[in-house]
Structure 1
Amino acid sequence: MQPKKYLTSNGIRYKVQFYNAEGKRSTKRGFKTKTEARTWYRHYQNELEYHGFAAKDKMQCQEIIDRWLNIKRQTTKGSTYRQYFNNCKNHISPYFGQIKLAEVTIDDCQQFVDLVAGKLQRFDKIVGSAKAIFKLAVKLKLRHDNPFEYVDKPRVKHTGAPKSFTTDQFQQFKTALADLQANDYKAFAMLALLAMTGARKGEAMALTWTNVDFSNGTIDIEHGVTRDYDNHLTIGTPKNDYSIRTVPIGPAMIVVLKKWRSIQRHQFKINNVQFGEYGELVFANDKGGLLGPNQANKWLRKLENKYGLPTYVTPHGLRHTFTTLILANDVVSPNEAAKLLGHRDATITMSVYNDLHEVTDHHAANFLENM
């Protein structure tokens, strides 16, 4: 680009406009001559073309963090990107952001790993993101090596706490649900649907009445509530292709949903509420839009506290409970369970089940001893 002159209190100066590594237009000012401006511009373009960045010797880590996040924004779903963004904002940038990229040592990285491992149970994803960021730096020839390749990572800590209700606790949960329907039918209907179908919370939040087939006793799970790149709630594609499925519901659940549809439409008619952009949501908020992501958690926690149920079971824990009970009681085969849950195959389903419960049955040991 041709340098342009402008007048300052110190006389004539030159400026040059250019596009930075992120494709944004910017301006560099303060050159005393056109030759100085052109020389800077050529140097900048050479660095940008070869490395993707300029002035790599002075570059701070935040620049490569931003580049990595920009790539993730283009290649992942909004909800996944937000996880990467939050990990960088809350952990990686505060530690590495202002350090020069070329000066980061193995010891710096080891101290970072020890720090997050001491504070967080699931620190492995944060460390994985940091490692990927420095891998990008190596790929762009901004560093000779990735210091995260040489750190010692502690083992992921597992609390061992169960994530699902036992059979007796589930019976108690069903009793509590029956009492709830008189006070909050929407809460009752949603928690019942999660427990009786194994659906993910986001899948239930995205259901519309057109997804419910009362005649055949099924619900079509085709979408899920997620967050977009700007952290706003939206309805998008489900977790994966296998999540698109048709799930059967029993006669009692059909009655529950029919009654809830009648109650909801009556309430909306009285209050002159129109459904929002996503259509007739089964579990809409009071304004016809998406239900808050923590609402089901609040309903379940309140129920657990009132009836003395373990509070470590979340709405996703109802999905684990569903998995546990149908497999432990041989209701369906592992492959059939995988289809109901939207898993790729039974391997994933069985890994969830095995993580939840130890094998305490003596059948195998007794069989071998008595052969």
Structure 2
Amino acid sequence: MPRQPKPYLRKQTKSWYCSIGGHQISLGKDRDAAFEKFYELMGNREQVKSEVNSLYDLSQVYLDWCQANRKPGTYKRHRHYLKLFIGAVGKRLKPSQLKVHQVVKWHEGLGIGTTSQNDAVSIVQRMLNWAVEQEYLHRNPVAGMKKPRRKRRDVYYTAGQWKQICEHATEPFASFITFLYLTGCRPLEGRSIEARHVHGDLVIFPADESKGARDARVIYLVPEAAAMLNRLAKEHTTGVLFRNSKGLPWTKDSIKCRLNRISEKVGFRVVAYGVRHSWATRALADGGVDPISVAHLMGHRDTTMVSRVYSHLSQNPDYLRQQAERAVREASPTTVSEGTREK
């Protein structure tokens, strides 16, 4: 009869091990905990997978999948954070050995803001959840851990502030940020538009070019924005439409440099996403556009992001007072006059 596996002590390391399915598995240094873990493994052979593959091995398989199935920017960001994560916990650590406090120590030591820390932890959790989906693991060892709180990106500009920004923006950059202000599109979308995307008063990005790569992204153009794109489409039949004075596409860094210079002149922080947020704030507060329409016009799948990012409106008494009055006025309920009420 074949020998039944059982834990054994390795004197050199003073640690307990067992062999299951031809794989040697570390059970730790504590005897009672080692035997408890051994019986758990024997009762659930699927868990053996998480003992065999290291987090490093898992990260390499996940990144291969990510490179093949996600956009280059997503792959690059995931590779960056996972490389830092593996460097912190070590290449030999098994998924089942990962503890929440190790992830916390790692993200707190990155020297970045809490929003970026939130992104970093989300990427680690995404890798582990993917491993469960693909049956590399039987569970995510840090599922449900509390992530650093994201800061609200509620930077937006009043009409007076926008006027100041425009006074210090020169062409062709002025046209680019004006387009963002007129449409509320993402800065990346604005600088990616080509003539082939323009269809009358619509900009349509195919699903494989849109954020999330699930559905086509449609940007609705007001007349001024449509005229701007039609003019640029005649100048640039191929390649992106918005370009700098040297005829080169705007990049994330070049936009940031321009806005930093404008910030110094106007005396307040100017960022590209602030223009998008300003569009949404105007639509909700001044235009009376409902949140569902705003969400879809901005390219969101539901109102979750709108509710979270623009929650500052809930702290505006004048705005809420207007909404209360509009709710009663537009509902036009049938009222019973004093003279016709039953006595």
Residue equivalent to 1:111 = 102
Residue equivalent to 2:264 = 305
Residue equivalent to 1:190 = 176
TM-score, structure 1 length as denominator?
0.60
CA contact (8 A) 2:96 2:141 kept: no
**Structure 2 residue 251 is matched with structure 1 residue 292:** yes
CA contact (8 A) 1:60 1:97 kept: no
Per-residue Cα deviation, 1:249-283 (whole angstroms, up to 9, x for no partner)? 334x4665566668x67xxxxxxxxx7xxx24212
| 145 and 210 in structure 1: CA distance in 2 versus 1, 3 angstrom threshold | closer
Per-residue Cα deviation, 1:154-188 (whole angstroms, up to 9, x for no partner)? 54153x674211333123223334xx2xxxx2211
Residue equivalent to 2:210 = 238
Residue equivalent to 2:56 = 62
SS at 2:315's partner residue? coil
Q: Which amino acid aligns with 2:65?
A: I
* Structure 1: tracts of 5 or more residues without a match: 1-42, 45-49, 225-235, 266-274
Residue equivalent to 2:321 = 363
Shift of 1:354: 1.9
Matches within 5 A, 1:1-371: 60-90=54-84, 92-101=85-94, 104-106=97-99, 109-117=100-108, 119-120=111-112, 121-122=114-115, 123-134=117-128, 146-149=140-143, 153=146, 155-156=148-149, 158=151, 162-177=154-169, 180=170, 185-212=171-198, 218-222=201-205, 237-240=209-212, 241=214, 244-251=217-224, 253=225, 279-284=238-243, 290-308=249-267, 310-311=268-269, 313-354=270-311, 358-361=315-318, 363=321
- The 2-side partners of 1:208 and 1:239 are apart by 16
TM-score, structure 2 length as denominator?
0.64
Per-residue Cα deviation, 1:206-229 (whole angstroms, up to 9, x for no partner)? 21235446xx6x2413259xxxxx
Shift of 1:318: 0.8
* Structure 2: tracts of 5 or more residues without a match: 1-21, 24-44, 326-343
| 111 and 363 in structure 1: CA distance in 2 versus 1, 3 angstrom threshold | same
Shift of 1:328: 0.7
- The 2-side partners of 1:144 and 1:335 are apart by 38
- The 2-side partners of 1:327 and 1:365 are apart by 10
| 289 and 104 in structure 1: CA distance in 2 versus 1, 3 angstrom threshold | same
CA contact (8 A) 1:207 1:223 kept: no
CA contact (8 A) 1:219 1:246 kept: yes
Shift of 1:291: 3.5
- The 1-side partners of 2:194 and 2:134 are apart by 47
- The 1-side partners of 2:153 and 2:240 are apart by 34
- The 2-side partners of 1:96 and 1:124 are apart by 18
% identical equivalent positions: 20
Shift of 1:294: 2.2
CA contact (8 A) 1:191 1:296 kept: no
Aligned residues: 279
- The 2-side partners of 1:239 and 1:331 are apart by 27
